[in-house]
Structure 1
Amino acid sequence: MIYDNHGRPITYLRLAVTDRCNLRCFYCMPEEGIKYLHKSKLLSYEEMLRIVSVLAELGVHKVRITGGEPFVRNNLIDFLYRLADIHGIDELNITTNGILTGQYLKQMKEIGIRSVNLSLDTLDSQRFFEITRRDEFSKVYQTLFDLLDAGFEVKINAVVMDGKNTDDILPLVALTEHYPVAVRFIEEMPFNGEGSHYPVLHWNINRILDTIRAAYPSLSKIKDAPHSTSYNYHVPGFKGNIGVIAAFSRTFCGTCNRIRMTAQGELKTCLYDEGVLSIRDLIRSGISNEELKGIFINTFQQRAKDGFEAESRRTKLVTESMTTIGG
């Protein structure tokens, strides 16, 4: 196992397989979308498999596939079968918007994927359209229940946005009464492809929790998993649970065990950095696996203490889209 310069183990890779998406969520990218990279600028599946194999030898054992939307990339399922076979990788999960996911549930089970994070910011079809700029709510909502019926561990990721979907907080909590789903409310972040579109964070973790407690006074804290980014709660008698991710407040950085690889092969040791190293360029220069290991180890020894330090190291303001970062 490899540790960073703050004594945190590096065991979890979030791997973006594409920068493309079939939604246009306003908090993620501009309405007109982003300028997608040419295929040659993205990591190939072979390059991704090599990177994961090297990281697995260093102690990474969990991989979450992200995008963009992972299922818009061709031949993703074949890639996932190969990824799951890498020695040392014992947990493979995926984050998806659910539009194309339903047709692959059987293969996902065969691959060994146990957990799926479903991006769903509202249970109202009109608000869904306003947020995503696409009329796809019925597909996503059906995918939620198909995933549950198939036995997947399902987490709903809902970004809480002032004036957009705060009326959905309680309906989403209510889902946990009858379904074994984890609803995770996420503080809004500035990664929308345009720079920050809010001057302050109106809905932070405290306001979200206060809203839930006002309706559910019995809400109780439950134990958080090691390295959890969410603070987790449960309403007694409910089948599911609730989490809040302080993504903007960044209060969970002290136990962060994750790194990110963007679809273009940029290594991010923190969500808020601007990318610390192009692994794609190193691989294409002919570097050996042993050399690559050494570079990973050295890079992890220069990791920012938290998201605020990572942001302070940036050479330019945040203007990138979450779809290019990799979720």
Structure 2
Amino acid sequence: MLIDNHGRPINYLRLAVTDRCNLRCFYCMPEDGLNWLSRKELMSYEEMLRACTLLVSMGIQKIRITGGEPFVRKDIMSLLTSISELNGLDELSLTTNGVLTAPHVAQLKNIGVKSVNLSLDTLDAGRFFAITRRDEFAAVMTTLDELLKHDIEVKINAVVMDGKNTQDIIPLVELTKELPVSVRFIEEMPFNGDGHIYTGLNWDYIRILDAIKDHFPEIKKMEDPAYSTAYNYHIPGHMGSVGIIAAYSRTFCGTCNRIRITPQGTLKNCLYDNGVLNVKDLIREGKSDEDIKESLLNAFNNRVKDGWEAESLVSTGIHESMATIGG
């Protein structure tokens, strides 16, 4: 088992396979997109598979594929299939916006993907267009239907944005009445990619919960799984559940078990750090497996205490887009 310098297990890798996305959500990137990475700057599938193989051999048990949007990268299913076959990996999951995902759901089921996080900030087609700047609401709902049809666990991730979609909190909660889904509300974070200054959080996890309690006073706290980033709740009579992720408040840092690798191969011990090691560079320099493992262990033994410490070490107030960080 991997243990960091604060005594926390590390068993969960979030691997971003691309920085590109087919939506333009305003809280993630500018309307005209980003300066996309060139193919040479991206990790190849072979490099990603080698990194995953090494990390699983060291104690990583769960891998989540993120982006950008994973399905905009060509032949992504070949990588997912290879990762799913790694000896020692207990769980492979992914996060997607659902636009291109529906045709692949049956194959995801076949390779053993049991859980998918679906990004969906509203159930209103007009607000979906306003938030994402793309008319793809129907495609996302088709993906939701396909995932449920194939008995894949679905977590719906909704970023709560003041003046944009707070009216969607209750309709999204109501989805859990008839559907076996977990709807998770996420505090907005300052990773917008356009350099504007983040002025603070109007809807923190406490306010989100209060809004839900006003409509569902019978809501009950559930026991949170180990290393959970969400506070989890259940409404009596509902099939699904509700979660609230304090992504900006960062109340869960004390039990953080995750690391990230960005599309360009940067290892991030924390969402809020600037990266601590480039795995792609080590591979391209011809380093041996043992040398790479040693570099990884050194990075894990120098993790910051929490997201606030990580942010304090960042020299600029301009945050990258979530698409380049890896969700």
Matched, 1:141 2:141: yes
Tell me the residue number matched to 2:230.
Answer: 230
Tell me the residue number matched to 2:300.
Answer: 300
1: CA distance, partners of 2:318 / 2:252: 21
Matched, 1:79 2:84: no
Tell me the residue number matched to 2:105.
Answer: 105
The one-letter code matched in structure 2 to 1:285 is E
Matched, 1:205 2:184: no
More divergent stretch after superposition (177-186 vs 198-207): 198-207
1:312-323 matches, within 5 Å, as 312-323=312-323
User: How far did residue 3 of structure 1 move?
Assistant: 0.4
- On the 8 A contact 2:219/2:233 being kept in 1, the answer is yes
User: How far did residue 197 of structure 1 move?
Assistant: 5.1
1:107-186 matches, within 5 Å, as 107-186=107-186
Tell me the residue number matched to 1:244.
Answer: 244
The one-letter code matched in structure 2 to 1:6 is H
The one-letter code matched in structure 1 to 2:299 is T
More divergent stretch after superposition (98-107 vs 315-324): 315-324
The one-letter code matched in structure 1 to 2:160 is V
Tell me the residue number matched to 2:279.
Answer: 279
TM-score, normalised to structure 2, is 0.99
2: CA distance, partners of 1:70 / 1:317: 28
User: How far did residue 195 of structure 1 move?
Assistant: 3.2
Tell me the residue number matched to 1:187.
Answer: 187
- On the 8 A contact 2:197/2:318 being kept in 1, the answer is no
The one-letter code matched in structure 2 to 1:162 is D
Instruction: Using the aligned pairs only, state the percent identity.
Output: 61
User: How far did residue 219 of structure 1 move?
Assistant: 0.6
More divergent stretch after superposition (174-183 vs 278-287): 278-287
2: CA distance, partners of 1:19 / 1:233: 33
2: CA distance, partners of 1:116 / 1:3: 27
Provide Cα deviations, 1:117-138, integer angstroms capped at 9, x if missing partner. 0000000000000000000001
1:214 match: secondary structure = helix
1:117 match: secondary structure = strand
2: CA distance, partners of 1:239 / 1:229: 21
2: CA distance, partners of 1:115 / 1:159: 19
Tell me the residue number matched to 2:269.
Answer: 269
1: CA distance, partners of 2:105 / 2:48: 23
The one-letter code matched in structure 2 to 1:273 is D
More divergent stretch after superposition (114-123 vs 310-319): 310-319
2: CA distance, partners of 1:278 / 1:317: 22
User: How far did residue 87 of structure 1 move?
Assistant: 1.2
The one-letter code matched in structure 1 to 2:312 is S
User: How far did residue 196 of structure 1 move?
Assistant: 4.8
1: CA distance, partners of 2:316 / 2:288: 32
The one-letter code matched in structure 1 to 2:3 is Y
Unaligned segments of structure 2, at least 5 residues = none
Tell me the residue number matched to 1:40.
Answer: 40
Distance 1:196 1:181, change over 3 A: farther
2: CA distance, partners of 1:102 / 1:18: 19
User: How far did residue 88 of structure 1 move?
Assistant: 1.1
TM-score, normalised to structure 1, is 0.99
Give the alignment's Cα RMSD to 1 decimal: 0.8
User: How far did residue 145 of structure 1 move?
Assistant: 1.5
2:212 match: secondary structure = helix
Tell me the residue number matched to 1:325.
Answer: 325
1:202 match: secondary structure = coil
1:15 match: secondary structure = strand
User: How far did residue 41 of structure 1 move?
Assistant: 0.4
2:10 match: secondary structure = coil
1: CA distance, partners of 2:75 / 2:143: 20
- On the 8 A contact 2:197/2:317 being kept in 1, the answer is no
Unaligned segments of structure 1, at least 5 residues = none
- On the 8 A contact 2:260/2:271 being kept in 1, the answer is yes
Provide Cα deviations, 1:10-32, integer angstroms capped at 9, x if missing partner. 10000000010000000000001
The one-letter code matched in structure 1 to 2:94 is I
Tell me the residue number matched to 2:256.
Answer: 256
2:92 match: secondary structure = strand
User: How far did residue 316 of structure 1 move?
Assistant: 2.0
The one-letter code matched in structure 1 to 2:175 is L
User: How far did residue 283 of structure 1 move?
Assistant: 1.0
More divergent stretch after superposition (143-152 vs 244-253): 143-152
User: How far did residue 198 of structure 1 move?
Assistant: 4.1
2:156 match: secondary structure = strand
